Amino acid sequence: MKRGVEAFERYLRNEKQLSSHTARAYLSDIAQLLSFLSTVFPKGVGVDKIDTLTLRGYLGYLHQQGLSKASVMRKLATLRAFFRFLHREGRIQSNPARALRAPRQIKKVPRVLSEEDAAGLVEAPKPLAAHPLQGLRDRAMLELLYATGLRASELVGLDSERLLMQERLVRVIGKGRKERIVPFGEPAARALEAYLAVRPGPLNPRSPVFVNLRGGRLTSRSLQRIVEKYMPLLMTDAGASPHTLRHSFATHLLARGADLRAIQELLGHASLSTTQKYTHVATAQLKALYDKAHPRARRNSATEPKENE
């Protein structure tokens, strides 16, 4: 089993070329499976002895632990990938995860900010006299997130050579090491120019664009904390994360008439069905606008005819 996990790790990093964060998530899920198997088989079990019934027992155990359906589905995806790899490599004769069924999941509509709240969030950072770098950096990051719809990992992983200031383009290495090119507008360009003018340290092609106060590359968790820091300044109780700005970017483009295929390319989605979730958000916004603006959108109970009239 240990050799199978080690081979799977090499496959994720070398062949699939997943990010270190994604690879760690896969391996963490496998570690949880191994922990479960150690309680069921105290004397150990070979990977070729694990059957569908055992894996179903593991999924049932996850449900008993109170995990959400989304978390169970993610761990199920890991099981399928792991045992599919072992079967392909000839380490097991049959794939026990093939017969597993995913729990039915209610699709959640992504949380988005209004255009006003999105503008308020990206404009919230102010350069302080004591720490001008921090305010200028935060403003540049938030402007670029909202202008391009980048994922948090893509933003903090952005190197200088991939930021084309003259063309106002960013070359993004997304999931599966796929590259896409995304434009950004004048506000983001101005914020980036102001930040890069005071950015500490040398800026060579492989340097991170966004750095912490010590000059090191920011992490996705640091970016999350930065977004959370400015949320209380808005006149809204809606929570936000870097991914909320990504959702807002796509939804606002769609609401203003952008083609869904174009949005798919900008976001780096492999499947159009992933992008189509934003149509639900846009439709909800249109309904709310209609209910608010149309004179006959809502019937007035005071003027409705009574049933006995």
Provide the CA 137 distance to its chain's centre, in angstroms: 21
Task: Indicate the helix (H) or strand (E) that contains 77.
Answer: helix 69-88
**Does 151 participate in catalysis according to the annotation?**
yes
**Does 175 participate in catalysis according to the annotation?**
yes
Active-site annotation holder among 75, 137, 162, 246: 246
Active-site annotation holder among 151, 162, 199, 252: 151
Range 77-105 burial, b when 16+ CB lie within 10 A, else e: ebbbbbbebbbeeebbeebbbeebeeeee
Q: Is 300 exposed, middle or buried (0-12, 13-18, 19+ CB in 10 A)?
A: exposed
**Does 21 participate in catalysis according to the annotation?**
no
**Does 63 participate in catalysis according to the annotation?**
no
Active-site annotation holder among 74, 168, 175, 180: 175
What's the rounded Cα separation, in Å, for the pair 2 and 76?
20
Active-site annotation holder among 16, 80, 180, 243: 243
Question: Under a CB-based contact definition with an 8 Å cutoff, are residues 126 and 135 in contact?
Answer: yes
What's the rounded Cα separation, in Å, for the pair 229 and 140?
15
Active-site annotation holder among 11, 26, 195, 278: 278
Residue 122: what are its φ and ψ, rounded to 5°?
-70, -25
DSSP assignment of 102-156, as one string? PPP-PPPPPP---HHHHHHHHT-----SS-HHHHHHHHHHHHHHHHH---HHHHH
Q: Which residues are catalytic?
A: 151, 175, 243, 246, 269, 278
